[in-house]
Amino acid sequence: MGHWDKIQALQAILKEENLDGYMVTHQSDLNYLTDFPQEGFALLVGKERAWAFLPMLLRDHFLKEVPGCEAVAGADLVEGVKNVVRENNLSQMGFDPFYETYALGKKWTEIGFVGKGGLLGKIRVIKREEELQRLRKACAITAKAFRTLKPRVRPGRTERSVSLELEDLMQKMGAEGVAFELIVASGPNSALPHHRSSEKVIKKNEAVVIDFGCTYKLYRSDMTRTVFTGKKPDPLFQKIYGIVERSQKEGIRRVSAGKTGGEIDQVCRDIIVQEGYGDKFIHSTGHGVGVDIHEAPRVGPKSEEKLSPGMVITVEPGIYLLGKFGVRIEDTLLVTDKGSQLLTK
């Protein structure tokens, strides 16, 4: 699917919303619409045309990579937009107030733009085939890299050294970069869901939570595994791991079109609650993945959005025993008519 198809999808929504144009400044929305990986530009999408506002140094590159869009180079953003609006007799204009800065949002409002949030979210939440190809590739790289790394996670190494090796492996396998700051959390650190990989030395008989993903052609993957560095895990670790594993497997089994994110969360959470660890599951079960690592739909408590074929989500329950260890298992899935497809395999 080319960039212009995505722009046309937004243009169709503009007609439904009775808008003549829509201002896009959020970076991931810009990347999504244009496939242009650079920063430092904005886009005004009209019903029939689209204009990019960018510095001169990006103009030729942009026009080569994004045919069909027009370029307004070198002008002050607001003044440039005002000129295009006036010259093309555009009147009903919108912008996304959720992603706009206060200062720029105020300027859009002053020149008559109205806040209309969520328009791009309607398009981005269902992945097209080209997007799915990229997501599959990112997930395949991620899973393959972990298979190589797993036997190398051993006592004596630092968390940071494992993180750096995993990043290197993914890039050698074709990734453009990491999807987020990789998490390698060992021992008590594994009970902190968003621990930053440190110089802590991994010890024998410790849990190690590894949360990782890569970027491939702007699209991201997300995967978490928990390993144990001893020959035989202690009974408490075995118990907690078994609960989380059962919770995740049942959550994945229940994923299908028509279910809500809240229903999937409840399935995973109920298993953990029934085992007496409900207060140790301290985050949502999952989230959407695409150009952003966290995007719609939300898979969490009371989430009422129904899953549809083409959505890509994670399922990642966890239990965290502060001061001891944590366990989290995460996979990325494609929602289908009949259930789901595991992408991180």
Give whole-number Cα distances, 246 to 12, 41, 61, 241, 242, in Å: 43, 46, 50, 9, 6
Q: What percent of the chain has pLDDT over 70?
A: 99
Across 194-204, average pLDDT: 97
Name all domains of the chain by residue range, CATH numbers in brackets.
3-124 (3.40.350.10), 129-342 (3.90.230.10)
- Span 131-148, pLDDT tens digits: 999 999 999 999 999 999
**Residue 195: per-residue pLDDT:** 98
* pTM score: 0.95
**Residue 3: per-residue pLDDT:** 82
**Residue 167: per-residue pLDDT:** 98
Q: Please check whether residue 165 is in contact with residue 152, taking contact to mean a CB–CB distance below 8 angstroms.
A: yes
Q: What is the mean pLDDT of the chain?
A: 96
Q: Please check whether residue 34 is in contact with residue 42, taking contact to mean a CB–CB distance below 8 angstroms.
A: no
How are beta strands 114-115 and 340-342 bridged, if at all?
unpaired
Across 301-330, average pLDDT: 97
Q: Which residues have CB under 8 Å from 255's CB, separation 6+?
A: 264, 307, 313, 315, 333, 335, 339, 340
**Residue 343: per-residue pLDDT:** 98
Across 29-35, average pLDDT: 96
* pLDDT for 1 beyond 50: no
* pLDDT for 210 beyond 80: yes
**Residue 2: per-residue pLDDT:** 66
Distance CA 187, CA 229 (A): 10
**pLDDT range class, residue 178, cuts 50, 70, 90:** very high
* pLDDT for 176 beyond 60: yes
How many contiguous H segments (helices) and E segments (strands) does the chain have?
10, 19
The owner of tokens 């829509």 is: 22
Distance CA 134, CA 221 (A): 10
**Residue 75: per-residue pLDDT:** 84
Across 191-219, average pLDDT: 98
Distance CA 213, CA 143 (A): 9
Across 84-104, average pLDDT: 94
* pLDDT for 19 beyond 90: yes
Q: Please check whether residue 195 is in contact with residue 189, taking contact to mean a CB–CB distance below 8 angstroms.
A: yes
